[in-house]
Amino acid sequence: MRQAVRHAAVALLGVSCAPAGVPLEAPPVASTISRHTATSASASPTAGPMPESSDEANLQKRLTSALAYVSEVRQLPALSPVQGRLISRPEIAKYLTAQLDAETPIDVIQATEALLWGFGTVDFDFDFRASVIGLMTSQLLGFYDPKQKTFFVGGDLKGDEADITLWHELVHALQDQHYDLTHLSDWQPDMGDSQAAVHALAEGDATSAMLDAMLKPRGATALEVPDGLMRAQSVLGSAALTAPPVLVRSLLAPYVDGLSFTNYLRRRGGFAAVDAAWQAPPTSTEQLLHPEKFLAHELPLVVPLPPPPASAPELSERFHDVMGEQTLRLLLEEWLPARTAAAAAADWGGDRLSVFADDARKRWAIGWHLRFDSPAAAERAFAALVRSAPLTERGAGRHLDDLPKSSHPGAKVCRERHTQGPIALVRRSVDLAIAIGPFVRNQTPVAADPGCGAALAWATKIANH
């Protein structure tokens, strides 16, 4: 779920960024679901020679000093200077718009809107492109572009806020010099979850070092800040953001989850352990959320793509990806307490999601095949999803064949919805399948194709695939 959102948001910011207002006076926020990481020079502000303005000269001087400081704190030597350029808020908006339009196919944008609407997390007229650009423009304070090797700084950035942003972004510059961040831009199908894990490593590393830089005068480090406090402050900071909550949570997740992962490694082996992670990054957000699985090299399972719905042969696949444990957790957080959502998503083993549409992009359907490490884990996830809003007792036409019990190898449930089409959930041993639709959507109130029979048949086929 986060992928579809992050594919354009993180992808938007294949450039590393430091948006405003998250933990402990610090500024980070970034990528749910769309990860077409975009850093093409044609869409970017041109770095070019530095103008001879006093503001630009002062920025370059400040960058040189800050780079030396953060290099010492991060214990990673600077291999070259970092060029800086001031950029206005309108330029940031223009940059983000160009990035999204250049790097994110229209199928991904439309599939994301259909996906979020199908799960009932956004209004029918939700405009993904406008929401991402608006949220990023309002929050972005500065960003490092690895393609241009340049740090673009918002012209309205001043005082302590400027120092914090500089430290965070200059860690990204150091990462780029040593580990080449440009590879984060190389999007490929079914790489969404693995790229989310690497993106979180980048943001967690930068946030941890940034906190060290902040706390050093007090003789403290990021390791003394409880992970729970950072998560709580990110939740409080997100409350003021005017965007669908699932989108906001998706943008915050790389910073909060990445910081927990980075600090876990630092407690075991300092920044040297983080450097080792850069040499062999986590391959899934499961490894990111459970560092012991990263150290044990537990790889995600390969899950087949969901087949198209037999009841709608005119639909063809428009988007597919691996969503990952982090996305499942973020989706469940829409309706359940954070701890419950995390427990339900735990022991994710692998998944594949496909979004189908007709040629006119009016009729949509969504299939999601998840596989867990054990039948008990699949049962937990099933029970949590049954409690979620799309499958609650509200509304007519809900069918529940059997609730998950440890003695039962499988379970299935379906609810017919007036506008979003049926949503069916089937569990078979370690496999769990979700089928949504078909439904009609075209930026107006949608018409559903009611029918739990067809939806349950499709979900059963996905689970058995």
What confidence score (pLDDT) does residue 442 get?
A: 63
Token readout for 5 is 């959102």
Answer yes or no: are the C-beta atoms of 333 and 311 closer than 8 Å: no
* Maximal C-alpha separation, the chain: 74
What confidence score (pLDDT) does residue 19 get?
A: 42
Token readout for 91 is 């330029």
What confidence score (pLDDT) does residue 284 get?
A: 97
Alpha-carbon dihedral sign for residues 282, 286, 291, 297: negative
Q: Which domains does the chain have, with CATH numbers?
A: 2-291 (no CATH), 316-464 (3.40.1000)
pLDDT in tens, the chain (465 residues): 444 344 443 333 334 455 443 333 332 222 323 332 233 333 456 554 444 467 778 888 889 999 999 999 999 999 999 998 888 888 888 888 887 887 778 888 888 889 998 998 888 888 888 888 888 877 777 888 888 898 888 766 666 677 888 999 999 999 999 999 987 655 577 888 999 999 999 999 999 999 999 999 999 999 998 877 666 566 545 555 678 888 888 988 999 999 999 999 999 999 999 999 999 999 999 999 999 999 999 999 999 999 999 999 999 999 999 999 999 999 999 999 999 999 999 999 999 999 999 988 888 999 999 999 999 999 999 999 998 878 764 433 334 343 333 334 468 999 888 778 899 999 999 999 999 999 887 655 555 556 899 999 999 999 998
* Closest by CA position to 451, among listed 418, 408, 428: 418
Report the C-alpha gap between 145 and 347 in whole angstroms. 35
What confidence score (pLDDT) does residue 231 get?
A: 67
Neighbours of 36 (CB within 10 A): 24
* Closest by CA position to 389, among listed 335, 327, 427: 335
Torsion angle (degrees, nearest 10) of CA 104, 110, 111, 116: 110
Half-sphere exposure in the Cβ direction for 31 (13 Å, CA): 39
What confidence score (pLDDT) does residue 32 get?
A: 29
What confidence score (pLDDT) does residue 410 get?
A: 61
Answer yes or no: are the C-beta atoms of 455 and 448 closer than 8 Å: no
Torsion angle (degrees, nearest 10) of CA 71, 76, 77, 83: -60
Residue type, 102: A
Report the C-alpha gap between 136 and 37 in whole angstroms. 14
* Closest by CA position to 203, among listed 156, 250, 236: 250
